Structures are given as structure tokens and as C-alpha cells.
Amino acid sequence: MGMYWSVGTVLLLLAITAPVALAFGFGGAAAARSHFLPLRWIGKAYISVVRGIPDIAFFLFFVIALDQAFEYIRHRIKCPDWDEPIRQGSDFVVCTAAKLPQGNAPQWVHETYGFVLAVLTFAIVFGAFAANVMYGAMQAVPKGQLETAESYGMSRRQTFRRILVPQMWVYALPGLSNLWMVLIKATPLLFLLGVEDIVYWARELGSFKSPRFTDYPHAEWRMWYFLALLVFYLCFTKLSEIVLAKIMARLTHGQATAAGEAQRRAQA
């Protein structure tokens, strides 16, 4: 049964990660456009650092790093009078009260904690990609629109909220839909983060015994399992393509772009 649940895990991860990553991306893009210099540096560094390095390295890095960061913060709060160093040789030692999750916590807490870490990791990495896309989209909104808003006496904040943000989506959507595809295709990496996803089950079920020494009643089945996964992902991306094309058509409606103009002509 666990195997079928794992498909749900993947879908749940997608459903949670996508909005969180979008929020991270929005924050990153807004920071990179900020007039406050340090904030702009942070935004730009976030975008370029995460993008220049293989994402899988980030997945492996953040899971440990986030875990240790949380435990360290809790450690500072809960045990202020602890005098031993945190790093003792190859060990990372915090007081027992700061352990996450607590040693006596039930199994589902451990699993949920792992899942939350995975979601955060995905959101940080894909947030950077999304920030890149949205930064470009904000730049792509015609200057005339922003200048008109200014000439109407709107403040910077008003211009941002009323003019820039509603118009940027049509420019951001091609990049974001590309990103959604990338996100779907990154979900198998979940199993590297220790979450029981669909890839995990293939390995788990296949490795009851060393495959070399067992006589399977059937032929090597993991090939077919992965073939099924391939087909699953193919269908999923195809479906997303169709849905995203619909959204794009709707967003284009009434926009000052070539596609919007073509739509207007077709209706007229």
C-alpha cells in the first residue's frame, strides 16, 4: 500500500512546494529590484548562486544544513548554559532538549519533519529559479505603463502593486510553466532526501535480497516499474502543458503583447 501512498506524497509535495517557491521567488525578485542596496545584493546573490550550481548538490546540502541550523537555533534558546563546543570532531552535538524531532517522538513526526525539510529545500532552490524568471518579467513590463502610473501621481508602492504585478504575469508565465515542468521532473530526487517517494519503493522492494542470488518467480520487474514511472511522468507533463496553454491564453487576453493583439484580431 505504501507504494501507492508515495504517489500521493509526490503530488502533495508539488502542491505545497509550488506556491511556497513562488512566494520565495516573488520575494527574491522584489528584493533584487529594491532601491535599498544591501537588499538588492541579497536578492541578486540568491538568484545567481543557486542557479550556477547543480540543483542536486543543493538538495543534499540543504537537508543537512537546515536540520543543523534549526537544531542550533533551538540549542541556543533552550540550553544557554551549555559550554561544550557544538562540533566535536565529526559529531554535531546539541543538548537533548534541542533535538529535532525529539528522540521519543512517534514515527509520523519523524516522517513529517523530513517532508517539511524536503519542501523547504525544494522551495529555496526553485524559489531562486522563479525569482530569476519574475525579475525578468518585471523588467519586461513596458516602461510606458510605469511612467503613466507615475504621472497619475501613484507612489512607487502603488505602482508596484497596481500596475507592475498584475501585468508581469503574462511575461512570467512562459518561464514559470517551464519551471513547473522542471519541478515535476525534480520530484524523483525526493528519495535522496530520505522521503519515501516512488523511487524509494522501487529500490526497497527490489532489494529484499541481493538480486544476483535470488530466483524471482517473475523476470526482473523493476525495469517495468520504472517504465511505468516514465509513462506517469510523461502523462503528467503532457497534461500540465495543456493546462498551462489554457492559462496562457486567458492571461494574454487584453494584454499589450503580440499574442494579445492576435487574439483581439481573431475575435474582431
Residue ranges in contact with another protein by CB under 8 A: 49, 51-57, 60-61, 64-65, 68, 87, 89-92, 129, 132-133, 136, 175, 178-179, 182, 184-189, 192, 199, 202, 219-220, 222-223, 226-227, 229-230, 233-234, 237-238
Three-state DSSP class for residue 244? helix
Q: For residues 49 and 166, which CB has a smaller minimum distance to another protein in the complex?
A: 49
Least Å from the CB of residue 56 to another protein: 5
Least distance (Å) between residue 235 CB and another protein? 9
Output 27 or 206, the one with its CB closest to another protein.
206
**Widest distance between CA atoms in the chain:** 79
**Residue 179 C-beta: closest distance to another protein, Å:** 6
Q: Where are the alpha helices (DSSP H) in the chain?
A: 2-33, 37-51, 55-78, 107-140, 143-151, 156-158, 165-186, 198-206, 222-252, 258-267
Measured from the CB atom, the residue of 20 and 66 that comes closer to another protein is 66
Pick from 135, 120, 125: which is nearest to 50 by CA?
125
Q: Which among 153, 179, 154 is positioned nearest to 29, based on CA atoms?
A: 179
Is the CB of 146 or the CB of 172 nearer to another protein?
172
CB of 154 to another protein, least distance (A): 30
**Separation CA 268–CA 262 (nearest Å):** 10
Of 124 and 163, the one with the shorter C-beta distance to another protein is: 124
User: Judged by CB, which is closer to another protein: 105, or 234?
Assistant: 234
Q: Distance (Å, rounded) from C-alpha 210 to C-alpha 4?
A: 24
Cβ atoms of 198 and 188 closer than 8 Å: yes
Q: How far is the CB of 114 from another protein (least distance, A)?
A: 16
To another protein, the closest distance from the beta carbon of 57 in angstroms equals 6
* Grid cell digits, residue 211: 538480486
Q: Which helix (H) or strand (E) holds 87?
A: strand 87-88
